[in-house]
Amino acid sequence: MSIPFATEKQVAVAAVRRACLLTSSVFNKLVKNETLTKGDKSPVTVGDYSAQAVVNTILGRAFPTDPIVGEEDANELRQESGVIMRQRIVELANETLTSELGLGEMVEWGLGPGQERTPEELMDAIDRGNHAGGAVGRMWTLDPIDGTKGFLRGEQYAVCLALIVDAQVQLGVMGCPNLPVDASNPDGPKGCIFVAVRGQGAQQMAVSGANPTPLTIPTISGDSLNFLESVEAAHSSHSFNSRVSSVLNITRAPTRMDSQAKYCCLARGDGGAYLRMPTGVGYREKIWDHASGAILIEEAGGIVTDSRGSSLDFGLGRTLGENFGVVAAGKAAHAKVLAAVMQAKAEEEEEKTKARV
């Protein structure tokens, strides 16, 4: 009897692994050494395009009929003004695709020596990310570098890939090249891949794909609870999170980091809850920012909702529509955190009403 999504998992881990190696290379070559040339733009742009070209090339070979919902398109790269950056991206992508086969990888996926792609093939691969999303059918969603400022600082960022079938996330893979393997040893080895398949649990493994370890969110008591939140106050309201902490009598300082690495940390117990509340009116979360993280938390034994307690809806297109904010926590803590969010929101609205009067 075959295991559901076994091939998809194997392909997705290979794609994320290769993208992690590529983005680490971009950081070392273009950020650390500041070797950008005129026309290269930012290292994040180069890394985004290159990683999307690699992941989409692999998905295109393994699952040629599956559409992809991604951030980037190659229109700018096809212009004469983009020739220098295009050359850099083609070089990086081919360097990544043609390296020796790793654990669980197959040459049929377009990997290994001799598998170079033409510039046009790589531009077409990038453009495969233009799918509009929707409620029906299979589709992948990709964020090649989630957490751009963390990437530039040499801190936390993630390569995020998820498979959605009929609006439900079935598989999520996240690569975190800079995340310590063991949170209790922050100066020890770094680089992890996190994998979750619906109904099959969650795992952490080495970037090579070796040493898969099951993940279960531990029960964290109220006095040791703390929030995982964004570094940038522009991405999530720190002041509102502080208000929620006061409602819950949380005394521990929040753990701040960029990207969906926060979901990964929550899944293995490095923090009690992930709270993301919008800072502006009308902002809509993108599906690629939460799809792989949401299934990781669910399969590790947690709950993910928006701030009103509704499930995240991945069938509306490229955004989560009217879902407002994100609250993720273990099953034992989620209801308490959600109730505190609602209380804090009510207090905030009451204060605004009084101020207007």
The predicted-structure confidence for 215-232, as pLDDT tens digits, reads as follows 999 998 766 789 999 997
Q: What is the pLDDT of residue 356?
A: 78
Q: Tell whether residue 3 is among the known ligand binding residues.
A: no
Query: 40 near 84, Cβ under 8 Å?
Result: yes
- Domain edges within the chain: 6-215, 222-356
- 3-state SS assignment for residue 9: helix
CA geometry: angle 199, 175, 60, nearest 5 deg: 80
**Confidence label for 164 from pLDDT (cuts 50, 70 and 90):** very high
Q: What is the pLDDT of residue 42?
A: 82
126 or 41, which is more confident: 126
Q: What is the pLDDT of residue 1?
A: 67
Hey, what CATH class is 6-215 in? alpha beta
247 burial via Cβ count (<10 Å: 0-12, 13-18, 19+): middle
The radius of gyration of the chain's CA atoms, rounded to the nearest angstrom, is 20
**Confidence label for 89 from pLDDT (cuts 50, 70 and 90):** very high
**Confidence label for 345 from pLDDT (cuts 50, 70 and 90):** very high
**Confidence label for 14 from pLDDT (cuts 50, 70 and 90):** very high
Q: What is the pLDDT of residue 160?
A: 98
15 or 33, which is more confident: 15
Query: How far apart, in Å, are the Cα atoms of 298 and each of 112, 137, 268, 294, 302?
Result: 34, 22, 12, 6, 5
- 3-state SS assignment for residue 176: strand
Tell me the Ramachandran region of residue 101: left when phi exceeds 0, alpha when psi lies from -120 to 50, beta otherwise.
beta
**Confidence label for 33 from pLDDT (cuts 50, 70 and 90):** low
Q: What is the pLDDT of residue 34?
A: 58
Q: What does the alpha-carbon distance between residue 117 and residue 56 come to, in Å, rounded to a whole number?
A: 12
Q: What is the pLDDT of residue 99?
A: 98
Q: Tell whether residue 270 is among the known ligand binding residues.
A: no
- Considering the four listed CATH numbers 3.40.190.80, 1.10.260.40, 2.80.10.50, 3.20.20.30, the one that applies to the domain covering 222-356 is 3.40.190.80
Q: What does the alpha-carbon distance between residue 280 and residue 192 come to, in Å, rounded to a whole number?
A: 33
Catalytic: which of 40, 124, 148, 319? 148
% of the chain exceeding 70 in pLDDT: 95
Q: Is the pLDDT of residue 280 over 90?
A: no
Catalytic: which of 23, 45, 48, 57? 48
Distance of alpha carbon 292 from the chain centroid: 6
Q: Averaged over 206-217, what is the pLDDT?
A: 95
Query: How far apart, in Å, are the Cα atoms of 256 and each of 7, 163, 189, 219, 294?
Result: 35, 27, 20, 21, 19
Q: What does the alpha-carbon distance between residue 89 and residue 200 come to, in Å, rounded to a whole number?
A: 36
Q: What is the pLDDT of residue 129?
A: 95
Q: Averaged over 143-163, what is the pLDDT?
A: 95
Q: What is the pLDDT of residue 262?
A: 97
Instruction: Catalogue the E-assigned strands of the chain.
Output: 68-70, 138-146, 158-165, 168-180, 190-197, 201-206, 213-215, 227-229, 255-256, 273-276, 302-305, 326-330
Catalytic residue status for 313: no
Q: What is the pLDDT of residue 39?
A: 47
Q: Is the pLDDT of residue 327 over 80?
A: yes
Q: Tell whether residue 306 is among the known ligand binding residues.
A: no
Q: Averaged over 56-75, what is the pLDDT?
A: 95
pTM of the model: 0.95
Q: Is the pLDDT of residue 171 over 70?
A: yes
Q: Tell whether residue 143 is among the known ligand binding residues.
A: yes
**Confidence label for 235 from pLDDT (cuts 50, 70 and 90):** low
Q: What does the alpha-carbon distance between residue 206 and residue 103 come to, in Å, rounded to a whole number?
A: 11
Q: What is the pLDDT of residue 29?
A: 86
Catalytic residue status for 124: no
Q: Tell whether residue 223 is among the known ligand binding residues.
A: no
Query: 217 near 304, Cβ under 8 Å?
Result: no
- 3-state SS assignment for residue 72: coil
**Confidence label for 38 from pLDDT (cuts 50, 70 and 90):** very low
222's tokens: 């109220």
Mean pLDDT estimate for the chain: 93
Q: Averaged over 259-281, what is the pLDDT?
A: 91
Q: Averaged over 331-338, what is the pLDDT?
A: 95
